[in-house]
Amino acid sequence: MRDAPIKRDPPAKLDHALAAHERRARLIAQLHAQAMATASELSAQREAIKAGIAKNAWRRKAEAWLFSAGAFLFGLGCIAAVGCILAVCL
């Protein structure tokens, strides 16, 4: 018998474990990239929604003022019409 250690190839089990670890690492990296892309997309959507809400709020405010002004002018017109009618009748 020889006293020198025998050189052996690494067991196949270690190769499988290393390959599985590499697959998991690639999957985790892929999922992380997808999560980052989704987060940035949601952030952009949130900003667009905020801008749309601000624009809609300004539009609603303008419509309310225009409606109020129209109602006021309509009321003045009615008062003027009643005044004219009374002036003609008397």
**pLDDT given at position 20:** 85
Maximum C-alpha span of the chain: 141
pLDDT digits (tens, 9 = 90+) for 24-65: 999 999 999 999 988 888 888 888 777 777 777 788 888 999
**pLDDT given at position 2:** 58
Helix (H, G, I), strand (E, B) or coil at 30: helix
The answer to pTM > 0.95 is: no
pLDDT at 11 over 70: no
What amino acid occupies position 32? H
pLDDT at 67 over 70: yes
Q: Decide which of 33 and 4 is more confident.
A: 33
14-37 residues labelled b (16+ CB within 10 A) or e (exposed): eeeeeeeeeeeeeeeeeeeeeeee
pLDDT at 15 over 70: yes
3-state SS, one letter per residue, for 31-48: HHHHHHHHHHHHHHHHHH
